[in-house]
Amino acid sequence: MGKFILGAITCLTISVAATVGLAMLGFFPTQANVAPPRLEGRVANQALDASMERHAPRVTNPLTASDQNLIDGMKIYYVNCSLCHGGLDRKPAALAKNFYPPVPNLISDPPDDPEWHIFFTIRTGVRYTAMPAWDSVLPEQDMWKVTSFLSHMDKLPPGVQQYWQDTFNVAPAAGGEGKDHDEKESH
């Protein structure tokens, strides 16, 4: 039994050393403009979700989802987030396809994560992606407003929908219209 355990440990050690060696020798692709392998995307998404579950505090949004807070969140999103995550005119962001991992279009496919998860992502960013931490840029209240906007996008009150229509000359997607979970990209 001892030889079997020693053999298993040896195989594992050699596998890890070979993987690290191949990475250090440049055998793994690093291009941002090519699609990632399916396994890599799946593992990365599962790792991100597991990390959020472990590290993100289960905080409650201190702001109400009032028309003004949702409109403020929309404005903050437009100024700070739309360049990468898609404009409020529902067009894809010009930069999105050139990021690795791909940047989700949060207007066409609003996040279905709980608010604490969205807020933690905004506040702390996501390592090894282009998603920055906004905690030193935006006040906490503004991050919560963006969180409210993103988490209520499929059920915006009429006044907020009218503001969106008047400001961006396009109506917001009604009731999650345009959501396609089969093509949902990484966080």
Domain boundaries, the chain: 38-171
pLDDT (0 to 100) of residue 134: 98
What is the token pair recorded at 151?
């988490």
CA gyration radius for the chain?
A: 20
Class of domain 38-171: mainly alpha
Find out whether 168 and 89 touch, Cβ atoms under 8 Å: yes
Question: Per-residue pLDDT for the chain (187 aa), expressed as one digit of tens each?
Answer: 888 898 989 999 998 898 888 778 887 777 777 777 788 888 888 998 899 999 999 999 999 999 999 999 999 999 999 999 999 988 888 888 788 788 899 999 999 999 999 999 999 999 888 899 999 999 999 999 999 999 999 999 999 999 999 999 888 876 544 444 444 444 4
Q: For 92, left (φ over 0), alpha (ψ -120 to 50), or beta?
A: beta
Find out whether 110 and 174 touch, Cβ atoms under 8 Å: no
Nearest alpha carbon to residue 122 among 63, 80, 155:
80
